[in-house]
Amino acid sequence: MEASSSLRFQVSRFSSFKIWLCLFLVLVLQNCSPALSDSPYLVGMGSYDITGPAADVNMMGYANAEQIASGIHFRLKARAFIVAEPNGKRVVFVNLDACMASQLVTIKVLERLKARYGDLYNENNVAISGIHTHAGPGGYLQYVVYIVTSLGFVRQSFDVIVNGIEQCIVEAHNNLHPGKIYVNKGDLLDASVNRSPSAYLNNPAEERGKYKYNVDKEMTLIKFVDDESGPIGSFNWFATHGTSMSRTNSLISGDNKGAAARFMEDWAEQNGIPKQAAHVNHDGLESSHMTSRLPRRVSPIIPEPNEITDDLVQLASSYEASGGRRLSSSSITKRIRSTQQNRPKFVSAFCQSNCGDVSPNVLGTFCIDTGLPCDFNHSTCNGKNELCYGRGPGYPDEFESTHIIGNRQFQKAVDLFSSASEEIQGKIDYRHTYLDFSKLEVNVRTSTGSQQVVKTCPAAMGFAFAAGTTDGPGAFDFKQGDVKGKPFLEISKKLT
């Protein structure tokens, strides 16, 4: 199930760059200005498989104990970029095809990076984020509430994510070359809706009046251009949940954002990006790139040769075609590598931003028993929250919904990528801090209009938490927005 505020208040969206961009990129890459003749940065991209166990492991996101992995829709990746000043500071951003990042994963990744590079990469300049897919293996987080449905810690899930993050950073580090960075942004209107519109209406009218929509519709994209190879990747931030795949899905999937990333990487490869030529146009792409040969599928991973593929190569070379000559493992390996030989691969990440109560199920919420719209205030059907579900644009086919929402993000990203012209300039810097959210002082305005300082306290999950959301309804006899609970729940709370 998904957490929804027990007070039914929804924090308004940010008006510009999303939280990761605000705290990371804006501090890192400051002061946009006209392009200079010399590239001020070294840029590098990397990606690596993090699919993990594809059977008999609970999935992370819906907190549904019955959602056990039984196969793969498409594989998961970690994608990274590094931006560095020659002989100066550098930053790393990693985007995971996973529900979220994990503090324990981050700690272990930093330990590995320290063993490789000393203090070059550390907790201050490495940021790790997840796309919030609800269809990846669980059990890799360190807190009990997140590993209850996975029945504890799952070493296999944890190890593959740690290894994948390390390897994608290593690849990005090894690919550092002089380059430029461009930024672009624009609204995407048909890939997200507010799944708790009644909660949003509890915000003051003055606050709501600042925004055109009740969710953030803006996509922000940064484009990386190698001085020799041309465009080598892009990372974008857009708010929509990774819940196109339902709580009953049992196939590992990157959901709509993972699909969008595959679409864009396929598109780049089909359009010859990055280029092999040393002299390319860095200012954009020809218009044909914007519309020609757009991929229509979610592509599988074709891994670079490693220990596993070496075994497969040996097996393949042991077979002899009738009337032909015996294959050698070297010839097979050469064919595997041929499509990317002597050319950096294009890395595209569709990152998550301020997605709280932002759903990809854009057709609205309906009762599965009657087909009628759900109750507006509590997202119930005749008082039952477990009957109210959001519908994606491909309803009733969740795979088609994943494809459609992913494709809409991909199409917008191609548009922003192709028209990006504002170059980022400035010194690289970063900020990192630890905050105890149970002891913060906050200035609030009272009902009389006066200002008051209040203090936060240790967190607690209210009754409404158990109701989940319309993307993934939770337990029976709970409903969203309930702050009182029922008598037997109060008794149970006091007993525990």
- The 3 state secondary structure assigned to 41-110 is EEEEEEEEECCCCCEEEEEECCCCCCCEEECECCCCEEEEEEEECCCCCEEEEEEECCCCCCHHHHHHHH
Strands 136-137 vs 388-391: parallel, antiparallel or unpaired = unpaired
Instruction: With CA atoms as reference, report the closest residue to 43 among 312, 234, 197, 201.
Output: 234
Q: Is 279 annotated as a binding residue?
A: no
On the question of a cis peptide bond just before residue 396, with omega within 30 degrees of 0, the verdict is yes
Here the tokens at position 147 are: 């590993």
Question: Which segments within 116-207 are labelled E, that is strand?
Answer: 126-130, 136-137, 177-187, 193-194
Strand partners, 224: 181, 233
Instruction: Outline where 255-339 has alpha helix (H).
Output: 255-270, 288-291, 307-317, 329-338
Cβ–Cβ under 8 Å, residues 271 and 314 = no
Strand partners, 286: none
End-to-end Cα spacing for the chain? 22
What's the residue count for the chain?
496
CB neighbour burial string for 296-307, b if at least 16 within 10 angstroms, e if fewer: eebeeeeeeeee
* Max CA pair span of the chain: 90
Cβ–Cβ under 8 Å, residues 403 and 262 = no
User: Which phi and psi (to 5°) does residue 404 adopt?
Assistant: -65, -50
Q: Is 132 annotated as a binding residue?
A: yes
Beta-carbon-side half-sphere exposure of residue 58 (alpha carbons within 13 Å): 19
DSSP element (H, E) containing 452: strand 451-455
Q: Which residue has the tokens 């970029």?
A: 81
Here the tokens at position 24 are: 């990371």
Given CA atoms 296, 240, 191, 22 in this order, what sign does their dihedral have? negative
Active-site annotation, residues? 359
Instruction: With CA atoms as reference, report the closest residue to 297 among 134, 136, 407, 132.
Output: 407
Strand partners, 443: 453
Instruction: With CA atoms as reference, report the closest residue to 145 among 354, 3, 308.
Output: 3
**Residues placed in the known binding site for Zn(2+):** 132, 241
**Residues placed in the known binding site:** 132, 241
